[in-house]
């Protein structure tokens, strides 16, 4: 089958890759672009481990066909830090022990970034509903929710 060339911007860089029409963006990011920080937990859009920002919206990359990403701007967990300067969410996840095994962490960080981009001052309930598309089986979510609230507070303070 003829493969299709896709051009997009991934984590700020012009990127191209080849795909078949039926390939998922998740598989292309992992296997063609080499961004294995994007995780597969289910392949059916239920767990959120493969979350990326697609044109600014949090999206399960397993539910996107790769050709749909042509011309898109994509952010993955690998693009959250600014050089060697971690994003406040990453800092707060580390400080707050908001990860145990770490497989869901990339998806949570991306989803939390989208949440805070849209709502810099969320309530606990808004964080819980904002992250309800991401499954974590280790933490019981307590420390994740606290880390996101703490990051939100730090980011607001930094922007004052």
Partner 1 sequence: MTIADDPATTLPGYKWVGTRPIRPDGFDKVTGRARFGADLTLAGMLEGAVLRSPHAHARIVSIDTTKALALPGVKAIVTGADFPEPAGNPTDQDMCRNAMAREKVLYEGHVVAAVAATSKRIARKALDAIEVQYEVLPHVMTVDEAMAPGAVLLHDGMITKGMDPAPTEPSNVASRVVYQRGELDKGFADADVIVERTFTTKPVHQGYIEPHAAVADTTPDGRSTVWCSSQGHFAMRAYSAKVLGWDPSRLKVIPAEIGGGFGGKTTIYLEPLAVRLSQKAGRPVRMVMDRDEVFMATGPASASKVTIKMGANKAGEITAAELWMAYEAGAYPGSAIGAGSMTALAPYNIPHFIIEGFDVVVNKPRVYSYRAPGAPQSAFAVESVVDELAHKLGIDPIDFRLQNAVEEGMQAPYGPKYQKIGFKETLEAIKHHPHYSAPLGPNQGRGVAAGFWFNAGMNSSAVVHINEDGNATVVTGSPDIGGSRASMALMAAEELGIDYNRVRPVVADTEQVGFNDVTGGSRVTLATGAAVVDACRKVIADLRARAAKTWDVPVEQVEWVDGQAQHVDGSQPPLSLAAIAKGWARTGGPISAAATLNARGVGAGFSTQLVDVEVDPETGHTSVVRYTTAQDAGRAIHPSYVEGQLQGGVVQGIGWALNEEYIYNADGKMDNPSFLDYRIPVASDLPMIDAVIVEVPNPGHPYGVRGVGEVGIVPPLAAVANAVAAATHRRFTDLPLSPPRVLDGILNGTEES
Stretch that binds partner 1, among 2-10, 28-36, 65-73, 152-160 (CB under 8 A): 28-36
Region from 2-10, 66-74, 129-137, 150-158 binding partner 1, contact rule CB under 8 A? 129-137
∠ Cα 104 106 112 (to 5°):
100
From the number of C-beta atoms within 10 Å of its C-beta (0-12, 13-18, 19+), residue 81 rates as middle
68: β partners: none
Quick check: 104 and 39 in contact, CB under 8 A? yes
The token pair at 53 is 């920002």
Site for partner 1 (CB under 8 A): which residue of 39, 61, 74, 113? Answer: 39
Stretch of 66-74, 113-121, 142-150, 151-159 contacting partner 1, by CB under 8 A = 142-150
Q: Which stretch binds partner 1 (CB under 8 A): 2-10, 38-46, 67-75, 114-122?
A: 38-46
Region 52-111 residues binding partner 1, contact defined as CB under 8 A: 76-78, 80-81, 86, 90, 93-97, 99-106, 109
Q: Residue count at the site for partner 1 (CB under 8 A)?
A: 59
Is 80 in contact with 110 (CB distance < 8 Å)? yes
Contact present, 58 and 15 (Cβ < 8 Å): no
Q: What backbone phi and psi angles, to 5 degrees, belong to 106?
A: -55, -45
Cβ at position 160, least distance to partner 1 in Å = 25
| Residues near partner 1 (CB under 8 A) | 20, 22, 30-31, 35-44, 46-47, 49, 76-78, 80-81, 86, 90, 93-97, 99-106, 109, 124-125, 127-129, 131-146
């Amino acid at each position: 089958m003829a493969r299709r060339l896709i051009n997009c911007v991934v984590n700020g860089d012009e990127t191209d890759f080849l795909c078949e029409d039926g390939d998922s963006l998740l598989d292309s990011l992992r296997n063609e672009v080499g961004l294995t920080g994007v995780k597969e937990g289910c392949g059916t859009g239920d767990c959120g481990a493969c979350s990326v920002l697609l044109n600014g919206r949090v999206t399960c990359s397993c539910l996107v066909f790769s050709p749909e990403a042509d011309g898109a701007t994509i952010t993955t967990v690998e693009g959250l830090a600014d050089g060697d300067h971690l994003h406040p969410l990453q800092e707060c996840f580390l400080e707050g022990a908001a990860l145990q095994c770490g497989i869901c962490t990339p998806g949570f960080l991306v989803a939390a970034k989208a949440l805070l981009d849209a709502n810099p001052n969320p309530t606990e309930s808004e964080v819980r509903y904002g992250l309800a598309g991401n499954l974590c089986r280790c933490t019981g979510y307590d420390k994740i929710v606290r880390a996101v609230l703490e990051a939100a507070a730090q980011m607001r303070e930094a922007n004052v």
